[in-house]
Structure 1
Amino acid sequence: MPDYFAQRLNMVESQVRTNDVTDTRIQDAMKVVPRERFVPSGKRALAYADAAVEVTPGRFLLDPRTLSKLAQVAQIKPSDRILDVGCATGYSTAVLARLAGEVIGLEEDHALVEIARATLGETQGNVQVVQGSLTEGWQANAPYDVIFLNGSIEFVPVSLRSQLGEDGRLVAVVRKGPQGRACRFLRERGRMGQWISFDSTLPFLHGFREPRRFVF
């Protein structure tokens, strides 16, 4: 039987801590949350690899390095309410829930919602998984202190911007070409500022690409 506990510790030491993730709360959360439970049984050998893991066609768990660095960029406080957009099977939701007061996992795929609810029910109590459009967000629990996007995006929808509270942070990998950049957007006095943090290339999150224009 694989020693998943040892694999988790190795993941944190080799993929998280060595990539300038100095927030020990993030390190501790990723040492505890059983990533293998959120991966399809046939892919559990890949659970702790330094790569995104596809859980259904076109849907992924973020690689540990990017997830941890985005969480650090978000500057999460214990009292924060987080909207976790594109939570898939719920791994990111479980990690974020150990850093914040409340996490709403948003997923549009019904099968993934059911998997996330079942798995998170075994690991964390301050979470809720809801089904809805990723680009529309989840107005019912707004405003949010943090909005966390699980994938690359080309734009931030107005609906998500409007659901950030004052001093709220939205973190995502913004990608207009082959290479993306992790960014933090900060809502302050009704305006949105943007800061670039680190380079990253993730699969695109469904619905977050600009419409393609065809020239005849």
Structure 2
Amino acid sequence: MADFAAARLNMVESQVRPADVTDVRLHDAMRALARESFVVPAKAYLAYADIEVEYASGRSLLKPRDLAKLMQAVRPMPGERALAIAAPYAAALLEHLGLSVIRLDDGDLSQPPAGSYDVIVCEGAVGRAPGAWTAALALRGRLGVIERDGPVGKACVYVRAEDGVGRREVFDATPPVLEGFAAEHGFAFE
């Protein structure tokens, strides 16, 4: 039987901390939550590996490093309202950090439940963040998502300000693209 407690500690010490994730709240949450419980039992042994692990058909948990960096970039704070899109492990981390979390796992993932959110996180890559996601951000709300149009994606943080929504790229990542969210390529004159 695997020693998952040791694997959790090793994941934080060998994958998360060396990736410049300095938020000790994230370290503590990742050490506490049983990541193996978010994947099918047959793949539990992969839960702490430096890979994306499939948890349902066409859906994967982000690599521990990538999720930790994305979470740190959106700066979740206790008491905030969060939306976790195809992100069961991220949802549990946000709850552990004291946020109120709405989970969007089924149906049309491009349409968030009504309301505004301080933090939105998605654990799968998308070609480009849907406008409905950025529209659901509260003032000073942050969306963390990996946009991928090719072999390497970019983890992006969108922030709603009084004058609109800004976007910045924070690191490279290569998770699988969520079904239905591939980049749309059209014809363009040059």
TM-score range normalised by the length of the shorter chain: over 0.9
Give the SS at the match of 1:210: coil
Deviation at 1:73? 0.4
Residue 154 (structure 1) aligns with: 127
In the TM superposition, 1:38-57 aligns within 5 A as 38-57=38-57
Residue 111 (structure 2) aligns with: 136
Deviation at 1:207? 2.5
In the TM superposition, 1:1-216 aligns within 5 A as 1-87=1-87, 90-108=88-106, 132-139=107-114, 142-213=115-186
Give the SS at the match of 2:103: strand
* TM-score, scaled to structure 1: 0.82
Deviation at 1:45? 1.2
Contact 1:134 1:207 (C-alpha < 8 Å) held by counterparts:
no
Deviations 1:43-74 (A, max 9, x none): 11111111010123311111101110100000
2: CA distance, partners of 1:56 / 1:99: 25
Deviation at 1:213? 4.6
Contact 2:90 2:121 (C-alpha < 8 Å) held by counterparts:
no
2: CA distance, partners of 1:168 / 1:9: 31
Residue 121 (structure 1) aligns with: none
Deviations 1:55-100 (A, max 9, x none): 233111111011101000001111211100112xx22211121124
Contact 1:166 1:190 (C-alpha < 8 Å) held by counterparts:
no
* TM-score, scaled to structure 2: 0.93
Tell me the number of residue pairs that the alignment of Structure 1 and Structure 2 aligns.
188
Give the SS at the match of 2:29: helix
Contact 1:150 1:172 (C-alpha < 8 Å) held by counterparts:
yes
Contact 1:135 1:207 (C-alpha < 8 Å) held by counterparts:
no
1: CA distance, partners of 2:98 / 2:141: 13
What 5-or-longer segments of structure 1 have no aligned partner? Answer: 109-131
2: CA distance, partners of 1:92 / 1:169: 14
2: CA distance, partners of 1:165 / 1:187: 7
Q: Percent identity between the aligned chains?
A: 43
1: CA distance, partners of 2:11 / 2:183: 34
Contact 2:137 2:160 (C-alpha < 8 Å) held by counterparts:
yes
